[in-house]
């Protein structure tokens, strides 16, 4: 399915009231939305709840989708806002856990020393979102900027800072192999 297929399904929902068309969109994007939210908050059950809320909000506000960007970009923006609202309302900031607390076995290969999920937790929510969308979901900078509602230059800065934080943390915690 491509963007034209998404627009056709959206048209069926809006014009004909076809709920099965929205079900098709949900099936297509639910894995992405759940993975994105899980990586943001680190909790699978919470991510499922937030994903469900994302699709409910998308359905209820589908008439606001203008088709200027891809449906996936619009849906990502909704998911990000729901996560942000949740963390703000609960006054929870998904703080990094102590990465140094992990045991690193010398017998493992260098790549096994990385706990990427844990490393992501050292990033603030905006940096984490930019990294997830850019490196894990292959979103281009412009699409990330639309999804996060920030300028493309800010996305580049977030990615730059995040890479530096990750690199410094890896060096600090001796995750890198010694040459």
- Structure tokens, 62: 């589908």
Average pLDDT over residues 141-151: 90
The structural domains of the chain, ordered by start, are: 1-93 (1.10.1740.10), 95-179 (1.10.10.10)
Q: What are phi and psi of 28, to 5 degrees?
A: -65, -40
Question: What is the model's pLDDT at position 76?
Answer: 93
Question: What is the model's pLDDT at position 95?
Answer: 44
Q: What is the pLDDT of residues 29-83, one digit of tens each?
A: 999 999 999 988 888 999 999 999 999 999 999 999 988 888 999 999 999 999 9
What span, in angstroms and rounded, lies between the C-alpha atoms of 162 and 157? 8
What span, in angstroms and rounded, lies between the C-alpha atoms of 80 and 6? 20
Across the chain, where does the E strand assignment appear? none
Question: What is the model's pLDDT at position 110?
Answer: 39
* pTM exceeding 0.85: no
Question: What is the model's pLDDT at position 179?
Answer: 45
Average pLDDT over residues 131-141: 87
Comparing 2 with 159, the larger pLDDT belongs to 159
What span, in angstroms and rounded, lies between the C-alpha atoms of 134 and 127? 11
Average pLDDT over residues 12-32: 93
Q: What is the pLDDT of residues 88-124, one digit of tens each?
A: 887 654 443 333 233 333 333 333 445 667 777 788 8
Is the pLDDT at 27 greater than 70? The verdict is yes
Helix, strand or coil for residue 95? coil
Lowest mean pLDDT among 1-15, 20-34, 44-58, 150-164: 1-15
List Cβ<8 Å contacts ≥24 apart for 50-57.
Answer: 50/79, 50/82, 50/83, 50/86, 51/79, 53/82, 54/78, 54/79, 54/82, 55/26, 55/30, 57/82
Q: How confident is the model at residue 136 (pLDDT cuts 50, 70, 90)?
A: confident
Is the pLDDT at 173 greater than 90? The verdict is no
């Amino acid at each position: 399915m491509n963007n034209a297929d998404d627009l056709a399904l959206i048209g069926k929902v809006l014009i004909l009231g076809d709920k099965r068309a929205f079900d098709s969109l949900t099936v297509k994007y639910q894995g992405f939305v759940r993975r994105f939210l899980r990586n943001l908050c680190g909790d699978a059950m919470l991510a499922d709840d937030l994903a469900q809320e994302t699709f409910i909000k998308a359905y209820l506000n589908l008439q606001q989708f203008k088709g200027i960007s891809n449906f996936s970009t619009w849906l990502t923006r909704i998911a990000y806002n729901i996560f942000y609202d949740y963390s703000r309302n609960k006054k929870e900031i998904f703080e990094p856990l102590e990465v140094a607390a992990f045991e690193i076995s010398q017998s493992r290969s260098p790549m096994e020393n990385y706990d990427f999920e844990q490393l992501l937790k050292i990033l603030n929510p905006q940096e984490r979102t930019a990294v997830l969308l850019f490196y894990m979901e292959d979103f281009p900078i412009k699409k990330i900027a639309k999804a996060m509602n920030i300028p493309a230059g800010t996305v580049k800065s977030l990615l730059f800072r995040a890479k530096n934080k990750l690199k410094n943390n890896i060096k600090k915690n001796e995750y890198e192999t010694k040459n």
